[in-house]
Amino acid sequence: MRHRVAGRKLSRHTQHREWMFRNMLVSLISHERIKTTLPKAKEFRSWADKMVSLGKKGDLHARRRAFDLLRDRDAVKKLFDEIAPRFKDRQGGYTRVYKMGWRLGDAAPMALIELTTYTLPKKEKKSTVSKAKDVLKKVTPGKKGEKTGKGEKKEKKEKKKEGKKETPKEKAKKKPPEEKSE
């Protein structure tokens, strides 16, 4: 039984485990979401929450403690200037873990861990009418001067022909027939 035994060893030596979590912290702070195995993500939550709590303190001592752990000036700056102010009214639970299925190679359970305030960049949704118009522009042949899917191919062929020298037979075909005078 595991009574009063805290934390997971993850089949690593203590120093290796600490280095791994430090690297994961820097990645989480810079990208705001990372993908890892589920046991690592569950253990990593406490590290991330403690780091955000340090960022919320905001004093010089907290900055120095954060730098001592992260060893990355950009990550410390982002933690104190951008991430911590987002959580000023929140008392805890700064990270969220999503289960992502199993890894193909060894069937390890995968998880996505992210900061709770992370939002995906929004894409402007096109209406169905504008989508249909875009498709029609590609399919229907356009007028001269308009560039459409098929029109672009024709223009490319014409440009290739212009680059070639005309043979005497082609010149003869282009000349209009001479009118006979009476």
Write the pLDDT tens digit of every residue in 80-91: 999 999 999 999
Residue bearing the bigger pLDDT, 144 or 31: 31
pLDDT at 12 over 80: yes
- In this structure, the number of other CB atoms found within 10 A of the CB of residue 61 comes to 9
CA gap 86, 93 in Å, rounded:
13
CA gap 53, 59 in Å, rounded:
12
pLDDT at 182 over 60: no
> CATH code for 14-115?
3.90.1030.10
pLDDT of residue 176: 63
| Average pLDDT, rounded, for the chain | 86
Written as six digits, the tokens of 170 are 């082609």
Write the pLDDT tens digit of every residue in 39-82: 999 999 999 999 999 999 999 999 999 999 999 999 999 999 99
CA gap 32, 65 in Å, rounded:
20
- State the Cα torsion 37-41-47-53 to the nearest 10°: 140
- In this structure, the number of other CB atoms found within 10 A of the CB of residue 149 comes to 13
Q: Considering the chain, what percentage of its residues have pLDDT values greater than 70? A: 77
Banded pLDDT at 140 (limits 50, 70, 90): confident
For CA atoms 122, 123, 124, 128, give the dihedral sign.
negative
CATH 3.90.1030.10 in the chain, residue ranges: 14-115
